[in-house]
Amino acid sequence: MKTINVEMLAFGEDNQLREVDVPLNEISELNESQILDVVYRLGQNDFQAKPCPSVSVGDVIHLNDKLFIVCNMGFKDITKEQLEEYKLCPRRDRSFHTLVRGE
């Protein structure tokens, strides 16, 4: 089992992380994009009930020392500087941010 952290920036509390448990046999031969899809799917409370919101558009997945924002369609890798800028945006406005729109 591998645990992948997701920063809950869409609907979670400030500084809240969701730990998504991913079976190694489910991701061992997948590329990075496919692994992100698995993390998103297993980060839903239907699959792993946790005391926090499901992974949503606007959350940030930490994978292999890289950051990926969940976009309206797919994922986008971002820098730490972009993450810090994004966090300055009011939570209610984050869904309109250029990073979330994949721009």
81 in a structural domain: yes
pTM of the model: 0.94
5-32 b/e (C-beta count within 10 Å ≥ 16 → b): ebbbbbbbeeeeebebebeeeebeeeee
56 in a structural domain: yes
17 in a structural domain: yes
Tally of domains within the chain? 1
| Band (26; pLDDT cuts 50, 70, 90) | confident
- DSSP letter string over 85-96? HHHHS-GGGGGG
Residue scoring higher pLDDT (103 or 45) = 45
103 in a structural domain: no
Mean pLDDT (the chain) is: 94
Render pLDDT for 48-92 as a digit per residue (tens, 0 to 9). 998 999 999 999 999 999 999 999 999 999 999 999 999 999 999
71 in a structural domain: yes
| Band (14; pLDDT cuts 50, 70, 90) | confident
Q: Measured between alpha carbons, how far is 74 from 95 in angstroms, rounded to an integer?
A: 14
* Domain span holding position 88: 2-96
101 in a structural domain: no
102 in a structural domain: no
83 in a structural domain: yes
Amino acid occupying residue 39: V
